[in-house]
Amino acid sequence: MNRLTLALCCCCCYYFTLAAGCAATPPKSHTAEAPMTDHRAAVSATLDAFHQAAARADADRYFAFFAKDAVFIGTDATERWTIEQFHRYADPIMARGQGWLYLPSNRNLAFNARADTAWFDEMLTNESYGLCRGTGVLSLHDGRWLIDQYHLTIPVPNDLAKDFAQKIREHSAKGAALPGGNAPR
Protein backbone atom coordinates (compact mmCIF):
# COMPACT_ATOMS: atom_id res chain seq x y z
CA MET A 1 0.00 0.00 0.00
CA ASN A 2 1.49 3.33 -0.92
CA ARG A 3 1.26 6.42 1.24
CA LEU A 4 -1.54 8.00 -0.78
CA THR A 5 -3.77 4.93 -0.46
CA LEU A 6 -3.03 4.70 3.27
CA ALA A 7 -3.85 8.40 3.75
CA LEU A 8 -7.14 8.00 1.85
CA CYS A 9 -8.09 4.96 3.95
CA CYS A 10 -7.34 6.85 7.16
CA CYS A 11 -9.37 9.88 6.03
CA CYS A 12 -12.31 7.67 5.03
CA CYS A 13 -12.24 5.83 8.35
CA TYR A 14 -12.09 9.15 10.22
CA TYR A 15 -15.08 10.61 8.31
CA PHE A 16 -17.15 7.43 8.67
CA THR A 17 -16.45 7.37 12.42
CA LEU A 18 -17.37 11.05 12.70
CA ALA A 19 -20.56 10.56 10.68
CA ALA A 20 -21.58 7.55 12.79
CA GLY A 21 -21.03 9.55 15.96
CA CYS A 22 -23.17 12.41 14.64
CA ALA A 23 -25.95 10.02 13.63
CA ALA A 24 -26.06 8.58 17.16
CA THR A 25 -26.62 12.06 18.65
CA PRO A 26 -30.29 13.02 18.51
CA PRO A 27 -31.03 16.25 16.67
CA LYS A 28 -31.74 19.32 18.79
CA SER A 29 -35.43 19.20 17.96
CA HIS A 30 -35.66 15.85 19.75
CA THR A 31 -33.84 17.06 22.84
CA ALA A 32 -36.35 19.94 23.05
CA GLU A 33 -39.37 17.61 23.26
CA ALA A 34 -39.41 17.46 27.05
CA PRO A 35 -39.74 21.25 27.48
CA MET A 36 -42.37 21.38 24.70
CA THR A 37 -44.30 18.57 26.43
CA ASP A 38 -44.16 20.65 29.61
CA HIS A 39 -45.56 23.68 27.74
CA ARG A 40 -48.33 21.57 26.21
CA ALA A 41 -49.28 20.22 29.62
CA ALA A 42 -49.17 23.70 31.19
CA VAL A 43 -51.35 25.27 28.47
CA SER A 44 -53.87 22.41 28.70
CA ALA A 45 -53.95 22.69 32.49
CA THR A 46 -54.51 26.46 32.21
CA LEU A 47 -57.44 25.99 29.82
CA ASP A 48 -58.94 23.22 31.96
CA ALA A 49 -58.70 25.35 35.12
CA PHE A 50 -60.17 28.32 33.21
CA HIS A 51 -63.23 26.23 32.27
CA GLN A 52 -63.53 24.89 35.83
CA ALA A 53 -63.49 28.41 37.29
CA ALA A 54 -66.27 29.45 34.87
CA ALA A 55 -68.37 26.43 35.83
CA ARG A 56 -67.95 27.24 39.53
CA ALA A 57 -68.78 30.92 38.98
CA ASP A 58 -65.42 31.82 40.55
CA ALA A 59 -64.94 35.25 38.95
CA ASP A 60 -61.64 36.04 40.68
CA ARG A 61 -60.05 32.78 39.56
CA TYR A 62 -61.67 32.92 36.10
CA PHE A 63 -60.40 36.41 35.29
CA ALA A 64 -56.95 35.61 36.69
CA PHE A 65 -56.42 33.46 33.59
CA PHE A 66 -56.65 36.49 31.30
CA ALA A 67 -53.78 38.85 30.46
CA LYS A 68 -54.46 42.45 31.48
CA ASP A 69 -55.03 43.51 27.85
CA ALA A 70 -56.96 40.38 26.82
CA VAL A 71 -59.95 40.32 24.51
CA PHE A 72 -62.98 38.03 24.78
CA ILE A 73 -65.03 37.45 21.64
CA GLY A 74 -68.40 35.86 22.28
CA THR A 75 -70.95 34.18 20.06
CA ASP A 76 -72.92 37.35 19.32
CA ALA A 77 -71.57 39.75 16.67
CA THR A 78 -71.64 42.53 19.29
CA GLU A 79 -69.41 40.66 21.74
CA ARG A 80 -65.84 41.84 21.25
CA TRP A 81 -64.92 42.87 24.74
CA THR A 82 -61.81 44.09 26.46
CA ILE A 83 -61.26 42.21 29.67
CA GLU A 84 -62.63 45.17 31.65
CA GLN A 85 -65.82 45.16 29.56
CA PHE A 86 -66.14 41.40 29.94
CA HIS A 87 -65.70 41.78 33.72
CA ARG A 88 -68.64 44.19 33.81
CA TYR A 89 -70.77 41.69 31.91
CA ALA A 90 -69.75 38.52 33.79
CA ASP A 91 -69.21 39.71 37.38
CA PRO A 92 -72.91 40.24 38.21
CA ILE A 93 -73.80 36.84 36.72
CA MET A 94 -71.08 35.04 38.67
CA ALA A 95 -71.95 37.00 41.84
CA ARG A 96 -75.37 35.28 41.69
CA GLY A 97 -73.56 31.93 41.62
CA GLN A 98 -74.25 31.35 37.95
CA GLY A 99 -71.37 30.12 35.86
CA TRP A 100 -71.18 28.47 32.49
CA LEU A 101 -70.12 24.91 31.93
CA TYR A 102 -68.29 24.12 28.71
CA LEU A 103 -66.76 20.65 28.57
CA PRO A 104 -63.69 20.65 26.32
CA SER A 105 -62.66 17.90 23.92
CA ASN A 106 -60.49 17.56 20.82
CA ARG A 107 -58.05 20.29 21.84
CA ASN A 108 -55.32 21.27 19.37
CA LEU A 109 -52.26 23.29 20.40
CA ALA A 110 -49.56 25.00 18.37
CA PHE A 111 -46.58 27.03 19.57
CA ASN A 112 -44.28 29.62 18.08
CA ALA A 113 -40.58 28.81 17.70
CA ARG A 114 -39.70 30.37 21.10
CA ALA A 115 -42.50 28.37 22.77
CA ASP A 116 -43.77 31.51 24.53
CA THR A 117 -47.01 31.84 22.54
CA ALA A 118 -49.63 29.14 22.03
CA TRP A 119 -52.64 28.95 19.73
CA PHE A 120 -55.47 26.59 20.51
CA ASP A 121 -58.78 25.38 19.26
CA GLU A 122 -61.04 23.02 21.14
CA MET A 123 -64.51 21.63 20.76
CA LEU A 124 -66.80 22.38 23.70
CA THR A 125 -70.11 20.95 24.82
CA ASN A 126 -72.61 23.18 26.61
CA GLU A 127 -76.06 22.22 27.88
CA SER A 128 -77.80 25.27 26.35
CA TYR A 129 -75.81 25.74 23.13
CA GLY A 130 -74.73 22.19 22.36
CA LEU A 131 -71.55 21.89 20.34
CA CYS A 132 -69.34 25.00 20.48
CA ARG A 133 -65.75 25.84 19.62
CA GLY A 134 -63.26 27.83 21.63
CA THR A 135 -60.19 29.27 19.95
CA GLY A 136 -57.57 31.64 21.19
CA VAL A 137 -54.05 32.65 22.03
CA LEU A 138 -52.09 32.32 25.25
CA SER A 139 -48.65 33.66 26.03
CA LEU A 140 -46.18 33.43 28.85
CA HIS A 141 -46.42 36.35 31.28
CA ASP A 142 -43.79 36.15 34.03
CA GLY A 143 -43.73 32.36 33.74
CA ARG A 144 -47.54 31.93 33.67
CA TRP A 145 -49.63 31.04 30.66
CA LEU A 146 -52.36 33.67 30.30
CA ILE A 147 -55.13 34.05 27.74
CA ASP A 148 -54.60 37.00 25.40
CA GLN A 149 -57.64 36.25 23.27
CA TYR A 150 -60.53 33.84 23.66
CA HIS A 151 -63.15 33.36 20.95
CA LEU A 152 -66.29 31.30 21.56
CA THR A 153 -68.25 30.21 18.49
CA ILE A 154 -71.12 27.94 17.61
CA PRO A 155 -70.14 25.93 14.54
CA VAL A 156 -72.90 25.86 11.94
CA PRO A 157 -73.09 22.76 9.73
CA ASN A 158 -72.58 23.71 6.08
CA ASP A 159 -75.95 22.21 5.15
CA LEU A 160 -77.66 24.69 7.50
CA ALA A 161 -75.47 27.74 6.84
CA LYS A 162 -77.58 29.45 4.14
CA ASP A 163 -80.81 29.19 6.15
CA PHE A 164 -79.05 30.30 9.28
CA ALA A 165 -77.43 33.26 7.51
CA GLN A 166 -80.86 34.28 6.24
CA LYS A 167 -82.26 34.21 9.80
CA ILE A 168 -79.39 36.44 10.92
CA ARG A 169 -80.13 38.91 8.09
CA GLU A 170 -83.81 38.98 9.07
CA HIS A 171 -82.91 39.48 12.71
CA SER A 172 -80.56 42.35 11.82
CA ALA A 173 -83.22 43.96 9.62
CA LYS A 174 -85.52 44.18 12.66
CA GLY A 175 -83.11 46.61 14.27
CA ALA A 176 -80.93 44.15 16.14
CA ALA A 177 -77.68 45.64 17.35
CA LEU A 178 -74.79 45.81 14.95
CA PRO A 179 -71.28 44.74 15.98
CA GLY A 180 -70.01 47.07 18.65
CA GLY A 181 -73.45 48.58 19.08
CA ASN A 182 -74.27 47.27 22.52
CA ALA A 183 -71.06 45.99 24.02
CA PRO A 184 -70.78 46.89 27.70
CA ARG A 185 -68.76 50.06 28.20
Asked whether residue 26 is assigned to any structural domain, the reply reads no
Asked whether residue 18 is assigned to any structural domain, the reply reads no
Asked whether residue 115 is assigned to any structural domain, the reply reads yes
Q: How many domains does the chain have?
A: 1
DSSP letter assigned to residue 163: H
Question: pLDDT: is 150 or 172 the higher one?
Answer: 150
Which residues lie closer than 8 Å to 124 by C-beta, 6 or more apart?
102, 103, 104, 105, 131, 132, 133, 134, 152
Sign of CA dihedral 135, 105, 118, 53: positive
CATH at 68: 3.10.450.50
Domain of residue 126 covers: 32-173
| Pairwise CA distance, residues 184 & 88, whole Å | 7
Asked whether residue 178 is assigned to any structural domain, the reply reads no
Asked whether residue 53 is assigned to any structural domain, the reply reads yes
pTM value > 0.95: no
Helices (H), the chain: 3-24, 28-31, 33-55, 59-64, 83-95, 158-173
| Pairwise CA distance, residues 74 & 79, whole Å | 5
> Are residues 171 and 164 in contact, defined by beta-carbon separation less than 8 angstroms?
no
Asked whether residue 181 is assigned to any structural domain, the reply reads no
1 band by pLDDT with thresholds 50, 70 and 90 = very low
The amino acid that residue 76 corresponds to is: D
**pLDDT one-digit tens code per residue, 80-122:** 999 999 999 999 999 999 999 999 999 999 999 999 999 999 9
Angle value at C-alpha 27, between 26 and 33, nearest 5 degrees:
90
What's the average model confidence in pLDDT over 140-146?
95
What is the CB neighbour count within 10 angstroms for residue 150? 22
| Pairwise CA distance, residues 59 & 87, whole Å | 8
Percent of the chain past pLDDT 90, that is, above it, reads 66
Asked whether residue 118 is assigned to any structural domain, the reply reads yes
35 band by pLDDT with thresholds 50, 70 and 90 = low
Asked whether residue 101 is assigned to any structural domain, the reply reads yes
